[in-house]
Structure 1
């Protein structure tokens, strides 16, 4: 039995006024180098602040570490503030 011919469908092309135009999102350039560098620096500073606070509780012989003792629980807010700031900077990274 002979095989029937396969019909080819035409490729649909929308009218010019309905075609998507190049938007600002398509023209975005990659982020500058300072964006990921700042985000990583904020992560490192935040973790270092929290580690310094936890490891030095009760041992404040050095002058700059005694300033950490005066802040008490604000040290947690500062450390986590750096971490939250890094999330904000990471969200701008393309």
Structure 2
């Protein structure tokens, strides 16, 4: 039975310091978590208030669309969460 060939790995070379410094972007994303949680809590509170007040609050003229508004805030929270690193 023939022997398999031994595979040689390419030698690792470190990238130059100048190339590495330009490729790293320093961004401060500390605003993401508070905004995300705020959207989640506002959406949850909107829906809870709607059910507890039997449709009188937060906006009576919206009717059952208040649920959609609450879920819209929650969806916005998920949208903001995509910016978290």
Between the two proteins, the alignment pairs up a number of residues equal to 74
Please say if 1:74 is aligned against 2:65.
yes
- SS of 2:67 mapped into structure 1: helix
1:23-67 per-residue CA deviation (whole Å, 9 max, x = no partner) reads x9x735465211111000000000000000000016x4xxxx3x6
Where does residue 50 of structure 2 map in the other structure? Answer: 53
Where does residue 82 of structure 2 map in the other structure? Answer: 91
TM-score (norm 1): 0.61
Kept after mapping to 2: 8 A contact 1:31/1:93: no
In structure 1, runs of 5+ residues without a counterpart are 1-8
TM-score (norm 2): 0.67
Larger Rg: 1
Kept after mapping to 2: 8 A contact 1:53/1:75: yes
CA RMSD of aligned residues (A): 3.2
- SS of 2:45 mapped into structure 1: helix
Give the structure, 1 or 2, with the largest relative contact order (CA under 8 Å, sep 6 or more).
1
In structure 2, runs of 5+ residues without a counterpart are 1-5, 14-18
Where does residue 33 of structure 2 map in the other structure? Answer: 36
